[in-house]
Amino acid sequence: MKYAFIQRHRRVWPISVQCRVLQVSVAGYHEHFVRRSSNVQRRHLSDDALLVHIKAIHAETRGGYGWPRTWKELLARGIRVGKDRVQKLMQQHGIRAKGKRRFKVTTDSQHDLPVAPNLLNREFSVAEPDKVWAGDIT
């Protein structure tokens, strides 16, 4: 409020005199003036607007990001927001990261099925073509 008064009346009285009368520092006035005229826009997003961004990140990552990585992604996109706010919004709306699937072993080495015989015995060089064929399941 005091800074706005100084700003309006700076042509009438010197800034140093106005700051002395209003009991504010000259450095504080200049810092306030620079902060106000800064190119950085400091707009606070509403919870609904922030939630849209959070849901978009959640959809893009197919539910792989929890609140820490979502918060870092928001910062990377230039959306300044606190991590506690992101955590609270995600918790309130049930947005959670998917857990990793557990590794399931599918190999059964103790089966009773017949095993193919090893006819080559790792001797892959042959004298004539079309005598030995080898393949790989990969």
What does pLDDT average to over the chain? 84
pLDDT at 54: 96
pLDDT tens for each residue of 108-127: 888 999 988 888 888 878 88
Model pTM score: 0.47
Percentage of residues in the chain with pLDDT exceeding 90? 39
Domain boundaries, the chain: 2-36, 47-92
Structure-model confidence comparison of residues 96 and 134, the more confident one: 96
- Contacts of residue 64, defined as CB under 8 A and 6 or more positions apart, other chains included, come to 97, 98
Residue 3, classed as helix, strand or coil, is helix
